[in-house]
Amino acid sequence: MTVMATEWTMISDLSPESAYRESVSATAGWRLSWLPDRLLTREQAMAGMELDEILSDLDSVHDRHAHADAAILAATVGIIWEEAVIRLSKRILARLHQRPTEIQDDDGDQAGPGTAGCTFGPHRMSLRADRPPRVFG
């Protein structure tokens, strides 16, 4: 688990969530993709990214130390850890309910969802590139 941070963005190697820096009048603040209604400090944004990584790690489901860390990180962000679980779960569900990517085989025939990059007999499957990805914000 690693949060990579620059002067303007924070991304995770475990989760699709991110944080970005924005300027509002004279003050610069940070926003988490999963908590966009709050303007945060850099420290709070990093805590939010670390919280997301803990809650996204299936190995920490029964880890009491991870639960304690999650509670501390959530308090740093200004929420309770249960709210973080709910918000992140809703974002996961939203991504899962996106319309499946349409896939075509090499002959241009429509293939079933979830077969991108797979090989079935002589046909190699590939993603259609005629539609941009959907972005949730």
C-alpha span between 75 and 132 (Å, rounded): 37
C-alpha span between 41 and 69 (Å, rounded): 19
The sign one gets for the Cα dihedral 77, 80, 81, 83 is negative
C-alpha span between 98 and 58 (Å, rounded): 23
34-54 pLDDT, tens digit each: 999 999 999 999 999 999 999
For residue 108, which amino acid is it?
A: G
109 pLDDT higher than 80 = no
124-128 average pLDDT score: 34
3-27 pLDDT, tens digit each: 999 999 999 999 999 999 997 666 7
The radius of gyration of the chain from alpha carbons, rounded to an integer in Å, stands at: 19
**What are the angstrom distances between the C-alpha of 116 and each of 57, 100, 120?**
25, 11, 11
| Cβ neighbour number for residue 118 with a 10 Å cutoff | 13
pTM above 0.75, yes or no: no
